């Protein structure tokens, strides 16, 4: 009934390791696997949540994973597959005996099956669809007709609804009579005669209201209808922005076709954030379970782009090779200007990318934000110019080099603020994800401007 191991360890209260897998337990599990002791393995895994077992599988080695799955055998739960990282699913499905896989999949809700099969190769997809009961398979296949990453893929098809003219008593009697209510539901959706959703009533309100009260008088203030083709990123945004718990999904004719609940929206929000962080760092799709070759492939494109931009910056430097030969201190100091510009540009672009994602940076305030970023670059540029001027005096014995590096610093930090805001905004306008591409453009600009400003000023002023 109640899972004893889920009781929190109160000693651990503010410990960062809360919810981390217990190392001793993992050791015991691996020992059981190595000893081929199925009973002990089952005992150790029994109290764990499927999500934790999936995490465990992600953390152990490939051969341990294989042995564990084969030994665990029929106890392998469909939910573990659901919780598993995409990169490991094909491997694990390949290890499972066909009957175990079939049993595991049959336990899942249809929306979890959709999530499971959508990224699999045809052969594995067919194996799983074939294992389902007919009605479930039809439901899954019909969900797969909606675009990837759309509300249609995310929704559950079982909706608890009531005609808009009912009162509380009628709704309660109806619910009490139903045999096949969904496992999880929190609202009753009111629909008009054309099956268009007009409001949600929470079960709590239903419980708290007298039988003769009309349902339409106790609907939620925050009612939001999601179009079935809407991008799941926007769905997650709507849940977060309007504090929705569940929302009806409608087709092109505004008829109710499903419902999305907040736990699915939260999972999407988490994935979207992960994607943003990874894209900002130029990592692409990546997980800790990826193999070496896949990881190297995933990292390659961004490094290749960076190589091109670094060569462009080097070409700027080579324009000044005579000046550098005359005054080697220029070569020593030039990376400082470029590096400061790169960092300031990354700061501005991260703020801009995030603000675009949260829909806070719009046509209305874009000029105000650009002005602010430029002013911030100017202020910090002047401060660091003074610092570097002083460093120049002490390091190279004279103020002239300090003036030059200071002036170049101011120019580059102003440009960084400008480029760091304008570039993501422009990329978004032309339909490119600013998280993915802004970094390369912005650091190219700050490298080139940094080297050119410093070396060019030096050429004019010093030589």
In the region spanning residues 367 to 426, those forming contacts with a second copy, defined by CB under 8 A, are 368-369, 372-373, 375-376, 379-380, 383-384, 387-388, 391
Neighbours of 390 (CB within 10 A): 13
Q: Which of 260, 351, 370, 415 binds a second copy (CB under 8 A)?
A: 351
Q: Locate tokens 């509380």: which residue?
A: 168
Identity of the residue, 60 or 393, whose beta carbon is nearer to a second copy in the bound complex: 60
The two three-digit tokens of residue 384, written as one number: 């660091």
Strand arrangement of the beta sheet that strand 187-191 belongs to: 161-163, 187-191, 197-202
Considering CB under 8 A, how many residues would be counted as binding a second copy? Answer: 157
Among 67-75, 102-110, 120-128, 276-284, the segment contacting a second copy (CB under 8 A): 276-284
d(Cα 237, Cα 245) in Å, to the nearest integer? Answer: 13
> What are the angstrom distances between the C-alpha of 294 and each of 59, 122, 285?
17, 21, 10
Q: Which of 178, 193, 212, 397 binds a second copy (CB under 8 A)?
A: 178
Q: Residue 44 Cβ, how far from a second copy at the closest point, in Å?
A: 15
The two three-digit tokens of residue 143, written as one number: 């969900």
Q: Locate tokens 């700061």: which residue?
A: 347
d(Cα 125, Cα 130) in Å, to the nearest integer? Answer: 8
First to last CA, the chain: 82
Q: Which of 74, 99, 148, 362 binds a second copy (CB under 8 A)?
A: 362
Identity of the residue, 67 or 276, whose beta carbon is nearer to a second copy in the bound complex: 276
Residue ranges in 427-456 that form contacts with a second copy under rule CB under 8 A? 428, 431, 447, 451
Q: Is 5 in the site for a second copy (CB under 8 A)?
A: no
Q: Which of 283, 386, 393, 462 binds a second copy (CB under 8 A)?
A: 283
Identity of the residue, 96 or 265, whose beta carbon is nearer to a second copy in the bound complex: 265
Q: Which of 102, 216, 393, 400 binds a second copy (CB under 8 A)?
A: 216
The two three-digit tokens of residue 263, written as one number: 């736990």
Residue ranges in 321-350 that form contacts with a second copy under rule CB under 8 A? 321-322, 324-325, 328-336, 338-340, 343-344, 346-347, 349-350
d(Cα 360, Cα 395) in Å, to the nearest integer? Answer: 45
DSSP of 166-204: -BHHHHHHHHHH-S---SS--EEEEE-TTS-EEEEEEHH
Contact mark string toward a second copy, 22..61, x via CB under 8 A? -x--x----------------------x-xx--x--xxxx
Residue ranges in 220-259 that form contacts with a second copy under rule CB under 8 A? 221-227, 229-231, 234, 237-245, 250, 252, 254
d(Cα 274, Cα 263) in Å, to the nearest integer? Answer: 17
d(Cα 448, Cα 317) in Å, to the nearest integer? Answer: 9
Identity of the residue, 222 or 460, whose beta carbon is nearer to a second copy in the bound complex: 222
Contact mark string toward a second copy, 62..101, x via CB under 8 A? ----------------------------------------
Q: Residue 306 Cβ, how far from a second copy at the closest point, in Å?
A: 5
Q: Which of 63, 292, 394, 397 binds a second copy (CB under 8 A)?
A: 292
Q: Residue 39 Cβ, how far from a second copy at the closest point, in Å?
A: 23
- β-partners of residue 189 are 161, 200
Contact mark string toward a second copy, 129..168, x via CB under 8 A? ------------------x--x---------x--------
Q: Assess contact for 438 and 423: CB atoms under 8 A.
A: yes
Among 37-45, 88-96, 97-105, 311-319, the segment contacting a second copy (CB under 8 A): 311-319
Q: Is 204 in the site for a second copy (CB under 8 A)?
A: yes
Query: How would you classify the pairing of strands 256-261 and 246-250?
Result: antiparallel
Q: Residue 374 Cβ, how far from a second copy at the closest point, in Å?
A: 9
> What are the angstrom distances between the C-alpha of 417 and each of 98, 197, 265, 407, 430?
57, 47, 34, 16, 21
CA angle, 154 as apex, 166 and 137 as ends, to 5°? 90
The two three-digit tokens of residue 274, written as one number: 């992960």
Q: Which of 102, 161, 195, 203 binds a second copy (CB under 8 A)?
A: 203
């Amino acid at each position: 009934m109640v899972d004893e191991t889920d009781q929190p360890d109160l000693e651990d209260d503010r410990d960062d390791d809360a919810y981390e897998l217990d190392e001793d337990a993992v050791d015991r599990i691996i020992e059981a696997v190595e000893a081929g002791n199925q009973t002990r393995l089952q005992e150790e895994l029994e109290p764990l949540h499927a999500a934790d077992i999936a995490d465990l599988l992600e953390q152990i080695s490939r051969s341990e994973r294989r042995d564990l799955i084969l030994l665990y055998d029929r106890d392998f739960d469909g939910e573990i597959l659901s919780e598993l990282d995409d990169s490991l699913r094909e491997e694990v499905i390949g290890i499972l005996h066909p009957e175990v896989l079939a049993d595991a999949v049959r336990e899942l809700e249809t929306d979890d099956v959709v999530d499971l099969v959508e990224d699999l190769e045809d052969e594995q997809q067919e194996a799983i669809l074939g294992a389902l009961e007919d009605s479930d398979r039809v439901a899954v296949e019909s969900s797969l007709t909606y675009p990837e990453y759309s509300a249609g893929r995310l929704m559950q098809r079982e909706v608890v609804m009531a005609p808009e003219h009912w009162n509380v008593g009628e709704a309660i009697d109806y619910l009490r009579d139903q045999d096949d209510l969904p496992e999880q539901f929190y609202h009753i959706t009111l629909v008009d005669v054309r099956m268009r959703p007009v409001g949600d009533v929470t079960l709590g309100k239903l419980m708290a209201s007298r039988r003769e009260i009309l349902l339409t008088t106790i609907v939620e203030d925050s009612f939001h209808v999601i179009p079935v083709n809407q991008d799941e990123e926007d769905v997650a945004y709507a849940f977060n922005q309007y504090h929705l718990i569940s929302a009806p999904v409608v087709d092109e004719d505004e008829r109710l076709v499903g419902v999305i609940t907040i736990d699915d929206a939260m999972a999407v929000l988490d994935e979207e954030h992960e994607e943003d962080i990874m894209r900002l760092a130029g990592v692409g799709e990546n997980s800790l379970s990826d193999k070496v070759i896949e990881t190297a492939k995933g990292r390659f494109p961004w490094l290749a782009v960076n190589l091109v931009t670094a060569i462009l910056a080097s070409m700027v430097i080579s324009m000044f090779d005579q000046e550098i030969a005359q005054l080697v201190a220029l070569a020593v100091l030039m990376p400082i200007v470029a590096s400061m510009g790169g960092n300031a540009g990354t700061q501005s672009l991260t703020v801009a990318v995030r603000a675009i994602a949260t829909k806070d940076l719009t046509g209305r305030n874009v000029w105000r934000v650009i002005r602010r970023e430029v002013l911030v670059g100017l202020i910090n540029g002047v401060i660091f110019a003074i610092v570097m001027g002083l460093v120049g005096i002490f390091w190279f014995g004279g103020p002239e080099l300090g003036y030059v590096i200071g002036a170049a610093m101011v120019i580059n930090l102003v440009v960084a603020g400008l480029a760091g805001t304008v570039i993501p905004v422009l990329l978004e306008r032309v339909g490119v994800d600013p998280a993915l591409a802004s970094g390369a453009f912005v650091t190219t600009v700050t490298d080139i401007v940094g080297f050119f400003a410093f070396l060019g000023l030096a050429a004019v002023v010093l030589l």
